[in-house]
Structure formats: C-alpha cells, structure tokens
C-alpha cells in the first residue's frame, strides 16, 4: 500500500502533464483586451490536482514573454522542478506572449513617449487578466510577476505602482531608467512606505546594464523594514539572454523559502500535529498576506510516518488534513480505511465516500481508477474476515 502513491503519482503526472512532472497545460487562448485594443495570447498552466468543480484556489504566477520559448520553457520547468521537490507550493501559471509590433510600446510609459502603452498594459493586467484568473482559473490573491528585459523594467515599475496588489516581482535584466522615468527613485519611495506583509523583489543583471545594478545596490542597502525582502544579483560576464536561467531558480527559492521552512517545522513536529499545522498555516498567512497550502507530498509523507509507526489515529487525522487541502486525491480514503482496519473500526462510511470521490476525481486515468478499485475490493475483503 505504501508504494501505490508513488506509482500512481508518477503515472498520473506523466500522462497528464506532458513535459512537466507536476503541471499540465490547461489551455492556450487569447484575450481580446479592451484596454490595449488588441488580442493578447496566453497559456494557462495548472497543477495536476487542479479541478474545475472543486473549491480550491492557488497562488498565481504571471510570466511575460511567452514567445521567447527558450527562457519561457526554462522558467516553467524550474517552477515544476521546485514544486516537485516541495520547495514551493502548487501555482496557477499564466504566460503572456507579446508580438514584436507591440512589445516595446506596451512597456513604455507616456512620460517617456506619448505613444507609450504601459498604462494600458497595466490596466489590462489588473482590470482584465487578474479578475479572469480568479474567476475562471482558480487563482487566489497571491501574485508573483516574472519579467525579462523590457518586461523586467515593466514588472519593476508595477512593483512601485501596484505595491499593495503584488506579493513579489522577479525582474531579469531590467533597465531602471527611461526618459522622464527613474525606477531607482520610485523604488526608493516604496522602501519608505509601510507594508502589512512581506514584499519580495529579486532582480538580476548581466553584462547588459551593470551601471543600473550599481545604481540600485545603494538603495537596497538602505532598507530597514523587515517586510521588504529586496535583493539583486550581478553576473558581470553573463549575456542578456543567459540571465533568465541564472536568476530564476534562486529567486523563486527565496520567495518561497519561508513557506518551505514552515513545512519543515511540521515534518519535525512529533506531537499535536493538528494544532501545530494550523499555527504554521497562520504564520504563512501573516508572512505572505494570503494562505498558501502545504504540499501534497509533505502532508502525505507525515501521515505515512504515523502509519509506519503504528500511530493509526494520528495517521487518520493527517490524511483527513490532506483531504481538506487536496479533496480529489481519492486514494487517501484507502489509506484511512487501512488505518481503521488496523484499529478494528468500521469502514463502511469511508468506503462509500471513497467510491463517490473516485468517480468524480480528475486526477486519475480510467486504468488507475480501476487499480484503485481493485485495492478497495481487497481492503473490503479484509474487513469481512
């Protein structure tokens, strides 16, 4: 029984997530933007446990420049890698493409050029895209933006103008100055304001704009507010197109390090887990300003630790906690059944719940559902012996 989760998880993810281990592409589509006056192509990528008819939301990551396939794919694969290794929570990812005709102008502010459309682009994001993400794609209010080059500049500007509506920005090879626009001055203003939760800003620059890095570093050095987690990296010999690969993994790890620390505290705890995890969840909400659920692997691993120690009541509690967070992970009911059988308890109610849940779960293929039903039949035979 302990091995079935590993086999099922690998097969489910391989079948459903294409080249990703923990994610699947939900759709490629376009949004007809009233703010911009033209269509924006997007790709929506969701965790494998995402299911339309389940009340479950996820942090949102917006990745710009989808048309640059090399850097875009590397960023998404890095997200997938860190999620698979329990270093960041499952997220909804929306990738936005920009065509060559519009990319420069849609990141240029009117203060720099009367033809600039950065203000309209900002309105597209916050008035059109984000409400759609919350309504249709189960994104919650946690928002992290990732941009490179022109979009490194634009996302840094958004950190200044939408400070209270973002949790973090990863800005790769940005410029900080355009005509009549100084982001070093704007970011200095952000540093002087109050924040109720932690705001993350990571920027990385190669051999393209080292003078901008040197201009920003003293400003970062003035930060005394513990709610501002700002840091830059200089890769002095790295080319412009190499910086996304150099920056993204460390930046994402930094943003979600606190979340990971809270998870580790739950794994180490040996008593009173239900109270402990709710305390840790509160720590996460206070830190990020929004709840971020613990990972499936962590919750399941803790339950199996109890099971293997013959602490069946604690295992049942831990698996019920897993179901609160991942309600379509149907095999969990089988683990609870096995725990109850070890306690000589009745399993009829949980058996009915398993069959109902499995019939509606989108996590499994039909072959995998059949395998789980075989496992269920075996447990039911055990319960009558």
- pLDDT, one tens digit per residue, over 304-313 is 999 999 999 9
Cβ-proximal residues to 239 (8 Å cutoff; 6+ apart), any chain? 206, 207, 208
344/201 Cα distance (integer angstroms): 54
End-to-end CA distance of the chain: 19
Q: How confident is the model at residue 266 (pLDDT cuts 50, 70, 90)?
A: confident
Question: Which domains does the chain show, CATH number per domain?
Answer: 18-263 (3.40.50.1820), 295-384 (1.25.40.10)
Q: Is the pLDDT of residue 92 over 70?
A: yes
Two tokens, residue 360:
């509606």
Specify the pLDDT at position 12: 41
Q: What percent of the chain has pLDDT over 90?
A: 82
- pLDDT, one tens digit per residue, over 139-193 is 999 999 999 999 999 999 999 999 999 999 999 999 999 999 889 888 888 887 8
78/145 Cα distance (integer angstroms): 15
Q: How much is the average pLDDT of 85-91?
A: 96
3-state secondary structure the chain: CCCHHHHHHHHHHHHHCCCCCCEEEEEEEEEECCCCCCEEEEEEEEECCCCCCCCCCEEEEEEECCCCHHHHHHHHHHHHHHHHCCCCCCCEEEEECCCHHHHCHHHCCCCCCCCCCHHHHHHHHHHHHHHHHHHHCCEEEEEEEEEECHHHHHHHHHHHHCHHHCCEEEEECCCCEECCEEHHHHHHHHHCCCCCCCEEEEEEECCCCHHHHHHHHHHHCCCCCCCEEEEEEECCCCCCCCHHHHHHHHHHHHHHHHHHHHHHHHHHCCCCHHHHHHHHHHHHHHHHCCCCCCCHHHHHHHHHHHHHCCCHHHHHHHHHHHHHHCCCCCHHHHHHHHHHHHCCCCCHHHHHHHHHHHHHCCCCCHHHHHHHHHHHHHHHHHHHC
Q: What percent of the chain has pLDDT over 70?
A: 94
Q: Is the pLDDT of residue 63 over 80?
A: yes
**Which among 320, 326, 308 has a CA at the least distance from the CA of 274?**
320
pTM of the model: 0.92
Q: How many CB atoms lie within 10 A of CB 293?
A: 19
- Indicate left, alpha or beta for 308 from its phi (over 0: left) and psi (-120 to 50: alpha): alpha
């Amino acid at each position: 029984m302990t091995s079935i989760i590993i086999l099922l998880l690998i097969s489910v993810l391989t079948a459903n997530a294409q080249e990703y281990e923990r994610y699947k592409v939900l759709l490629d589509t376009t949004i007809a933007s009233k703010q911009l006056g033209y269509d924006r192509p997007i790709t929506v990528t969701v965790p494998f446990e995402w299911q339309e008819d389940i009340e479950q939301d996820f942090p949102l990551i917006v990745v710009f420049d989808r048309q640059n396939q090399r850097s875009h794919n590397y960023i998404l694969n890095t997200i997938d890698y860190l999620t698979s290794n329990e270093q960041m929570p499952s997220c909804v990812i929306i990738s936005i493409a920009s065509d060559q005709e519009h990319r420069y102008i849609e990141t240029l502010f009117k203060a720099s050029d009367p033809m600039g459309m950065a203000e309209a682009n900002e309105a597209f994001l916050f008035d059109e895209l984000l409400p759609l993400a919350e309504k249709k794609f189960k994104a919650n209010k946690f928002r992290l933006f990732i941009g490179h080059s022109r979009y490194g500049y634009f996302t840094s500007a958004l950190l200044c103008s939408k400070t209270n509506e973002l949790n973090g920005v990863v800005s790769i090879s940005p410029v900080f100055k355009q005509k009549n626009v100084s982001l070093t001055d704007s970011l200095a203003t952000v540093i002087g304001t109050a924040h109720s939760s932690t705001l993350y800003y990571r920027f990385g620059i190669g051999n393209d704009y080292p003078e901008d890095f040197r201009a920003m570093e003293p400003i970062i050095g003035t930060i005394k507010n513990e709610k501002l987690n700002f840091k830059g990296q200089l890769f002095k010999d790295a080319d412009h197109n190499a910086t996304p690969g150099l920056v993204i993994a460390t930046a994402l790890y930094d943003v979600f390090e606190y979340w990971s620390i809270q998870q580790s505290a739950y794994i180490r705890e040996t008593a009173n887990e239900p109270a402990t995890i709710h305390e840790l969840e509160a720590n996460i909400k206070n830190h990020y300003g929004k709840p971020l659920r613990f990972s499936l692997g962590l919750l399941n691993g803790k339950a199996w630790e109890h099971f293997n120690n013959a602490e069946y009541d604690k295992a049942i509690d831990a698996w019920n906690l897993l179901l609160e967070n991942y309600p379509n992970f149907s095999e969990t009911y089988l683990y609870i059944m096995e725990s109850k059988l070890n306690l000589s308890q009745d399993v009829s109610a949980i058996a009915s719940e398993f069959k109902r849940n499995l019939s509606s779960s989108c996590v499994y293929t039909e072959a995998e559902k059949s395998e789980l039903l075989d496992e269920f039949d075996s447990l039911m035979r055990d319960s009558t012996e």
